[in-house]
Amino acid sequence: MFESLGEKFEGVFRKIRGQKQLTDDNIKDAIREVRMALLEADVNYLIVKDFVQQVREDAVGQEIVKGVNPAQQLFSIVQKGLVRMMTGDPETDREFVVEPGGEKLILMLGLQGAGKTTFCGKLAARLAEKGTKPLLVACDVYRPAAIEQLKQVGGSLGLPVFEMGTDTPPVEIVRQARRHAAENGNDVVIVDTAGRLHIDEVKMDELVSIRDAHKPDYTFLVADAMTGQDAVNSAKAFNDQVGIDGVCLTKLDGDARGGAALSIKAVTGRPIVFAGVGEKSGDLEEFHPDRVAQRILGMGDVMSLVEKAEKAMDGEDAANMQEKLASGRFSYNDFIKQMKMINRMGSLKGLMGMLPGLGGLMKNMDNDVLTREFKRVEAMILSMTKEERENPELVKTQGKRRDRIARGSGHTLKQVNELVKQFEQMRGMMQQLTGDGVMGGLKKAMGGGDMPNPGEILAGGGVPELPPGMDPGMMPGVPKKYAKQMKKMEQKKRGSSYTPPKKKKKKNKSGRR
């Protein structure tokens, strides 16, 4: 994992505190960090060059606002620049509107393995939700079982799939499909094409002939978020030769920083419309330039985390939980339910990586250890009687019960005691947090309102403050040694931001002497 740009900035700018203006000279190191961060995020080299130049021009000469950290100031210039570059232009972009009763043709294209077929399914599912009747058309006549794949995708969604085997040219398949759609009342036709290299002339010509014969209403380029420097070449070729209206960036649920988004937008001028965030049909999101900007800069993606959390909890559960938390009736059953929710959200490490600053801390943490720890806690709780689970007081007050639980779950008494202690602390903490509801509390706990303000994060030294009175050791399932590590880091961060930098420097100097 990478160190976030914010953290690097903090170090770089320490030496220019007290200066009045951003100058070419004092932002030089910071600019270099910007450049490296963008390159590490896979933004194309040439685009980085331009971008960095722009940032420099924007920054130099700016007065340093009093009370604002110069790091913050430059960071916000960088972030705004990125968002601007990835935001669509309402003047030139074709808005993607598909209404029931129309007669739309949508064409998907892209390299092999970008995720076209999966995206076709997701888009069809979404359009069907809006009341249209999509028809999926299988035009990948090359890859073995590609047609079968689309048929299965369509089948699982209950949507029709049109295919003519592998011997009919795609242009003809589309023609027949449109006729079929007209006859069967399908108002949107989604054409899945074969993955192809942008330098494969024969196959590029095939796309051109589909375009010329059928004039699709929208053409989407499906691109992999993990793409490197080559993203510009392929995107440009597809746009120049066939023409695209928008881009879907897939596999954003991984940990790639997604700099390809910037490259593709810059080189094609076309908006990135959708983000693919998983393998299931519902895993499709609108593309948010601001979030990807954060991600590119290694600032974590708090909004996505919160959304993920909201998705993982169904509404009723969440309301129940909140009420229980507020009233202090939080039981072991609820605890286990909550752990399961967290598990449902995906890898712990991935989640922690979304939190600004924590990414760096987590890089030494083994995900396996965390999951294993979850399992241990679960085993202990499952060794409690129903009564004990509902009424934590019993376990808290009666050593005999704890002893039985330990033996029943194959743990030591000490481990059970630790769990009980953690649980009780957490219960207390949760009660404090629930003023704004569970999600509000979670957002609060993450140190922000709606969007985390990078400045705030920077001022806090990179890690959002933990809620008052919260000891990292109280986080359920965090093994003690890591808790210690987190605590130490927390202290260190606080310490460093409270220590006037000048003093520190002096100390270092005297130390050297």
- Collapse the DSSP code of 371 into the 3-class scheme (helix H, G, I; strand E, B; otherwise coil) and give the result: helix
- Three-state secondary structure readout of 92-124: CCCCCCCCCCCCEEEEEECCCCCCHHHHHHHHH
| Near another protein in 245-284, by CB under 8 A | 251, 253-257, 259-260, 279
Among 169, 243, 346, 467, binds another protein (CB under 8 A): 346
Determine if 365 is a binding residue for another protein (CB under 8 A): no
Q: Which stretch binds another protein (CB under 8 A): 108-116, 289-297, 316-324, 483-491?
A: 108-116
Residue 36 vs 413, nearer CB to another protein:
36
Cβ–Cβ < 8 Å for 28, 71 = no
Among 26, 117, 193, 219, binds another protein (CB under 8 A): 117
Among 87, 152, 417, 497, binds another protein (CB under 8 A): 152
Q: Judging by beta carbons within 10 Å of its beta carbon (0-12, 13-18, 19+), is residue 175 exposed, middle or buried?
A: middle
| Near another protein in 412-471, by CB under 8 A | none
- Collapse the DSSP code of 65 into the 3-class scheme (helix H, G, I; strand E, B; otherwise coil) and give the result: coil
Cβ–Cβ < 8 Å for 118, 279 = yes
Residue 116 vs 404, nearer CB to another protein:
116
Q: Which stretch binds another protein (CB under 8 A): 55-63, 76-84, 113-121, 442-450?
A: 113-121
Question: Count of residues binding another protein (CB under 8 A)?
Answer: 56
Determine if 230 is a binding residue for another protein (CB under 8 A): yes
Residue 51 vs 332, nearer CB to another protein:
51
All residues at 6 or more sequence positions from 231 whose CB lies less than 8 Å from its CB, including other chains? 42, 44, 223, 260, 263, 264, 267
Residue 187 vs 192, nearer CB to another protein:
192
Q: Which stretch binds another protein (CB under 8 A): 57-65, 111-119, 324-332, 392-400?
A: 111-119
Q: Which stretch binds another protein (CB under 8 A): 71-79, 85-93, 112-120, 471-479?
A: 112-120
Q: How far is the CB of 50 from another protein (least distance, A)?
A: 13
The span from the CA of 226 to the CA of 297, in Å, is: 15
Cβ–Cβ < 8 Å for 96, 478 = no
Determine if 228 is a binding residue for another protein (CB under 8 A): yes
Residue tagged 């997604």 (tokens): 258
- Joined together, the tokens standing for residue 102 give 């129309």
Among 19, 53, 112, 327, binds another protein (CB under 8 A): 112
Neighbours of 330 (CB within 10 A): 23
The span from the CA of 498 to the CA of 500, in Å, is: 6
Residue 371 vs 453, nearer CB to another protein:
371
C-alpha distances (whole Å) from 16 to each of 20, 24, 27, 394, 449 are 9, 12, 9, 58, 30
Residues in contact with another protein by the rule CB under 8 A:
1, 36, 39-42, 45, 111-115, 117, 142-146, 148-153, 156, 197-199, 201-202, 224, 226-231, 233-234, 251, 253-257, 259-260, 279, 346-350, 367-368, 371
